[in-house]
Amino acid sequence: MFSLHVEAGPWREHADDVRQQVAGLVPVAKGNGYGFGLTMLAEESQRLACDTISVGQLDEVPAVHDAFLGDVLVLTPWHPLVDTTPPTDDRLIVTAAHREAIHALSGGSTRVVVELLTSMRRFGLDEDALAQTVSEIKRVNLAGFALHLPIDDGDIARVDEVSSWITTLRRLNLSSDTLWVSHTSDADLAQLRRRHPETTFRPRIGTRLWLGATGTYRARGTVLAVHPTRRGQRFGYRQRKAPNEGYLLIVGGGTSHGVALAAPRAVRSVSARAKTAALGGLEASGRSLSPFYVAGKRRWFAEPPHMQVSMVWLPGDAAPPAVGDEVDVDMRMTTAAFDRLILH
């Protein structure tokens, strides 16, 4: 069993604080629902009295549609070659980031947010494409324009980039009444609202809203078996030999739960590179730290995790847990899939 324990009161207090601090908040509920699940995040967005929620793609809409009663913005751009029929649900707002999509949606009833290409350069119309599509944009059921900005910790001029696009929209006689923005700080938003009081900014926020209260949730794996093991005794799929006396712990949580799955990291400093190189060397030699904490320490995998359980090595000088005990797991929440969610 692989479980997510949530201290519901403090976790919700944090979400309430973000809701009060961020005017026009649009909660993001996409993918695995940041570990909590899409339906739970939809229910919490309804509790927060938000008027719009955003999901990653169209196939995520059913998971939030009944639990959240407001509008649903789909972030992944709609394209006629990918999704041949535009959605007709009057609660949905689709994103269009290609000229072909705007052409297909022009004259229709589907509400549309047109995404503009930022320095992130993922989706969106650049200035030339926007200028060439003005007449068709004026014929869509326009719900505003969107800007997905970079999150680099350095000196990124997000405010100037947004302001530049507002100037462009006005020059082309397009509405800048509503701008949907991602990765803008509170300070960015305050400055933008001072510069452009006539524009309504709708910040789309996921990580800060759901994962910001880091001490209020914890992944835990259930201990399913404990095997005292002699030095040299073979174990596992690969029949490795135990390095010394200890315990093999069989713990709930494997690759199907996201255990040991990690996205590449942006490594910049010399010390971070050295650490990454050292960990890579250990893995190349067959040793890999697990995310499981037993008896106060992070323990080594005995072998690579299985699909639903992991084999964890515990040295003989540590007190082993009992079957049924839970151990803490250091999980990347955006890749985690839990068997159960427990609210305390």
pLDDT per residue over 75-118, tens digit each?
A: 999 999 998 888 889 999 999 999 999 999 999 999 999 999 99
Q: Go through the domains of the chain in sequence order and give each one's CATH number.
A: 7-212 (3.20.20.10), 215-343 (2.40.37.10)
Mean pLDDT of 225-250: 95
What does pLDDT average to over the chain?
92
β pairing state of 178-182 and 200-205:
parallel
Q: How confident is the model at residue 304 (pLDDT cuts 50, 70, 90)?
A: very high
123-155 confidence digits (pLDDT tens): 999 999 999 999 999 999 999 999 999 987 555
**Whether 215 contacts 13, CB under 8 Å:** no
**Whether 11 contacts 342, CB under 8 Å:** no
Q: How confident is the model at residue 261 (pLDDT cuts 50, 70, 90)?
A: confident
16-51 confidence digits (pLDDT tens): 999 999 999 999 999 999 999 999 999 999 999 999
Mean pLDDT of 255-275: 67
Mean pLDDT lowest for which of 33-42, 154-163, 322-331?
154-163
Query: CB 262: neighbour CB atoms within 10 A?
Result: 9
pLDDT value, residue 200: 98
Residue 212 has pLDDT above 70, yes or no: yes
Per DSSP, the three-state class of 68 is coil
**How far is residue 164's CA from residue 167's CA, in Å, rounded to a whole number?**
5
